[in-house]
Structures are given as C-alpha cells and as structure tokens.
Amino acid sequence: MLDQEQCRQARLSRDRRFDGLFFVGVKTTGIYCRPVCPVRPPLEKNVLYFPSAIAAANAGFRPCLRCRPDSAPGSAAWQGTQTTLQRALRLINAGALQETDLPALAGRLGVSDRYLRQLFERELGVSPKQYALYQQSLFAKKLLHETRLPITDIALASGFHSLRRFNDCFRKQFQLEPRAVRKANGEAGGGIQLFLASRPPYHWPLLQRFLAARLIPGLEWCDEHSYGRSFQMGNARGHFTAQFDAGRCGFTIDLALDDLQHLSQVVQNIRRVLDLDADIALIETTIAALFDLQQLPHSGLRLPGIWDPFEAGVRAILGQQVSVAAARNLVQQVVDAFNPDAAAGIRFFPAPEQLAASNLDFLRMPASRKATLRAFAERAAQQPVGDDPTALLGIKGVGPWTVDYIRMRGLSDPDIFLARDLGVQKALAQCRHPIDPDAAAPWRSYLTFHLWNLP
C-alpha cells in the first residue's frame, strides 16, 4: 500500500499510473472512487485510502457510478507475497468457486479449507466466498454499464445461477439495483464489446511485433492496431479482437462466445494475455536500476501471454533448438492437422486429448520430440498444466527452459528468468556492466523481455 502522501498526490493529479493501485473512500458521500475519478476532488480530511475495491466495500462504501471502480486495472501488489494466496486468487478469478466448493479448491492448492479461510481473513479481511461474490458483482456491474446484454444473461455470465440470487447479491454489495446502473450503450448484435484499461505506459508496437512474428493464421490475427484469436474454455468456444486505444491506454474488446457462463473467465484471461494489470512504473524502476539508466530503451514493455499453459507447453516443445520461424511452422502444422474442415476460417488449438491420441506423423521432426509432445499431452489430459508445472520435468525431453517458458507465457508468472536462453545470454554479454538477474526479483520475466529487446 502506498503512503498517505503518495495517495494524496496521485489523487489530486489524477495520475493514471496509480489507477487500480488504491481506491479513495469519500466519507461525506459514502462512495469509493478510483484516483482518476473526473469529479471535483474532495477535501483530504474527508477521504480514506484503501488498497483494494473490496477493502473499501467492507468499510461500507459503495462504488462510484462516474469513474466505475469495476473498470480499473487490477493490482497484484495488495495480493500479498504468499504463493498460495496468489494461486487462490487466480483460480477464484477464473471461476473456481463457481464450479466447485471451497474444500475442493483448497485441495487443489494443497492446503486445508480452514487454512485457506484464515489466509483470506488475515490478508484481505474477507472469506474466499465473499471475495468471489464481490468479484462476480463487479464484473456484472461492468457488463451492465458497457453492454446491452439482458440482465438475465448478465447474471449467468457473472457466475450466478439464478436471477434472484444475482439481484440479492448485487443489492447487498452495492446498495443499488442492477437496473439502476443499466446503460443503453455498448455492444449491438450478437457480440459483446468491453473496454479493458491498463496503466501507462503501454508499448503496443513492441508487443504487436512479438505476437505478429509468432502468429498462427486462422488461430490468431493481428494488424498494426489490434490482436485477436480463437479460444476454447471448457466446452465453450469463441474468439476476440483487441483494438489498442492509445488515448485511454487500454483495449476495446470485441468478443464472441457461445456459452456466457465462461465470460468472466474469458475476460480475465484476455487481461492476462495482454498483461493489463502490471504496475509498470514500479517494475521499470527496478529494472532500469540494473542497467544504470534513468529510463529503459523500451518503456511500457509487457509480457505477451499465451492463451493457456497447455498451448504454451506445445509451443515451447516445438520451439526447442529451432528458430522462431521454424517453431511457428511446426505449430501451424499442428493447428492445421486438427482443423481439416476450417478452410480459411477460424481454427482452434487442439485439446490435450486430441494430441495424446495422435501419432503426429504430419510433423517433420525427430521421433523423440514427438514422444515428448505426446507424453506432455497425456499428462495435460490428466491434470491441468498450470497446477504444478515443475512436475513436467519428469517427462523425458522437458527441461527447465520448457517449464520456465510455460510459466512465463502460459501462466504470466512475472518472476521467470530464462538464463539458458541463447538470446538472453548474448544480450547479457553485450551489456556495459554485469547484470545480476536476482536483483530484478520479483520482475525477472520483464528483465528477460528487456534483454531480448535491447537495441
């Protein structure tokens, strides 16, 4: 949490770099706002500062309808340093407690449900279920503001199984009726359009070039201003296009999805793939000091994510000891082989079960590499890759570089340094003075990408 004076200065200047890093409760109105709220700033004696939206809500404040705290970039800073808490938050944000109960989630994390409740109460002041319901309500509020989806569909898309349950929870969280925040702007037709904000700076051209160089036509599409792709989420299928808006430092997302129950999870994953929640100012201050620079050559560099850890693993295995272009061609062959009827239309990345059942004869590469790919797919079909990536080291042909690549791009782990990567080693050799990667923790993934992009 920032100190009182930092919050005051950021609030009065409406500094967008601090958007989502803290929230402002106004005692005279009972409303909490983002530091970039456009209304006239209240007097300092009338405000309280909170590290998260849910902390402000627990103190009795309701969200502002002008600045809409539901639209603020996320913040990892207030999540604490505990790995278990961070994994729990990631899984809950992805809908874990909508699909299963707390004991099952705790078992997946390797702890007891009692310990998990204590962890949430100590770090966030709420139970895991309370946290999940608040996030569901915030997402519903965003949909009410930005789309023309019927309220019944919004309830379903936000993880509520009945309209009555949704209305009761929404009123309890915000002291507002869902219809009171309904707006007639937003998407029209069968798609959904949302705006996802980030903190400046955001170096879109650099991210665009990275993604374009690894583009798989049919699975992905990219131009100077946008990136999109198809995806599968459980039994649901869909696709999105993200259009970069430099003025607002964020993306307008045009999204199609055949099962709205997965909408929240899909939007959360798009935020991760585009790395919209990074506290980029803090990250770059840490890394610039390593290079003895006031400002990095590429300010605003983000981690380009891959849709899921399984796809990241396949790309990593196919990319072992070959060029980027050769790896891209191999991935294209995999996508083409499992989409024989797609022609020039949208294609989907194969599921683990599909790859595990294939002899992979269409791939021109050593038999040992094919065996590694099949073994990886078999493991992924039995257990989600993201649950324990280090367990993959038991597969012949999967080494530390492959696991780290999965963690860095498939899970967006911010603290992975690819020390064995040839490009990283060459960049380190060109630096004017020795660089200690450990000094970049917990942002070593960003150091890796800065080294890849040194002038």
263 and 313 together in one domain: no
> In the beta sheet, which residues pair with residue 231?
238
pLDDT at residue number 76: 57
The answer to the question of residue 182 being in a domain is: no
pLDDT at 184 over 60: no
Looking at the domain assignment, is residue 16 inside a domain?
yes
Cα(245)–Cα(299) distance, integer angstroms:
17
| Whether residues 325 and 406 fall in one domain | yes
Are 265 and 240 a contacting pair, CB within 8 Å? no
Judge if 272 and 317 occupy the same domain. Answer: no
Same domain flag for 316 and 406 = yes
Asked if residue 398 and residue 351 are part of one domain, the reply reads yes
The total domain count for the chain is: 3
Q: In angstroms, rounded to a whole number, what is the distance separating the alpha carbons of residues 143 and 150?
A: 10
- 376: DSSP letter: H
Question: Do the domain assignments include residue 367?
Answer: yes
Token representation of residue 266: 């899909």
Distance from chain centroid for Cα 142: 17
Average pLDDT over residues 26-39: 95
Grade residue 9 by pLDDT with cuts at 50, 70 and 90: very high
Residue 207 sits in a domain of what CATH number? 3.30.310.20
Domain closes at, from 24, 52, 68: 68
Residue 100 lies in a domain: no
- For residue 421, indicate whether it is catalytic: yes
| CATH code, 42 | 3.40.10.10
Q: Are strands 31-33 and 62-63 parallel, antiparallel or unpaired?
A: parallel
- In this structure, are residues 285 and 257 in contact, taking their beta carbons and an 8 Å threshold? no
Candidate list 33, 37, 64, 67, residue with the active-site label: 33
249 is catalytic: no
At 90, is the pLDDT very low, low, confident or very high (cuts 50, 70, 90)? confident
Residue 114 has pLDDT above 80, yes or no: yes
CA–CA distance from 287 to each of 181, 277, 300, 433 (Å)? 42, 18, 12, 14
Q: Is the pTM of this model over 0.75?
A: yes
Q: What is the pLDDT of residue 343?
A: 64
148 located within any domain: no
Query: At residue 195, does pLDDT exceed 70?
Result: yes
Three-class secondary structure of residue 170 per DSSP: helix
Q: Is residue 109 part of a domain?
A: no
Lowest mean pLDDT among 302-306, 338-342, 406-410: 338-342
> Is residue 315 located within the same domain as residue 273?
no
**DSSP one-letter code for 231:** E
pLDDT at position 210: 96
Q: pLDDT tens-digit profile of 125-158?
A: 889 999 999 999 999 999 999 988 999 999 999 9
Contact assessment for residue 51 and residue 233, using Cβ atoms and an 8 Å cutoff = no
Contact assessment for residue 270 and residue 229, using Cβ atoms and an 8 Å cutoff: no
Whether residues 380 and 321 share a domain: the answer is yes
273 with 326, same domain?
A: no
Q: Is residue 434 part of a domain?
A: no
**Domain finish residue from 41, 68, 95:** 68
Average pLDDT, the chain: 91
| Residue closest to 96 by CA, chosen among 268, 333, 344, 271 | 268
> In one letter, which amino acid is 440?
A
DSSP 8-state assignment for residue 33: E
CA 101/CA 230 separation, integer angstroms:
30
Dist CA 151 CA 17 (whole Å): 33
Instruction: For residue 74, name the pLDDT band (cuts at 50, 70, 90).
Output: confident
Under the banding of pLDDT at 50, 70 and 90, the label for residue 1 is low
Is 145 within a domain?
no
Spot the catalytic one: 113, 153, 415, 421: 421
CATH code of residue 379: 1.10.340.30
User: Do both 225 and 316 map to the same domain?
Assistant: no
267 and 321: one domain? Answer: no
Q: What is the pLDDT of residue 189?
A: 42
Same structural domain for residues 313 and 231? Answer: no
- Boundaries of domain holding 368: 309-411
Which of residues 233, 255, 277 is at a domain's end? 277
Q: Is the model more confident about 387 or about 46?
A: 46
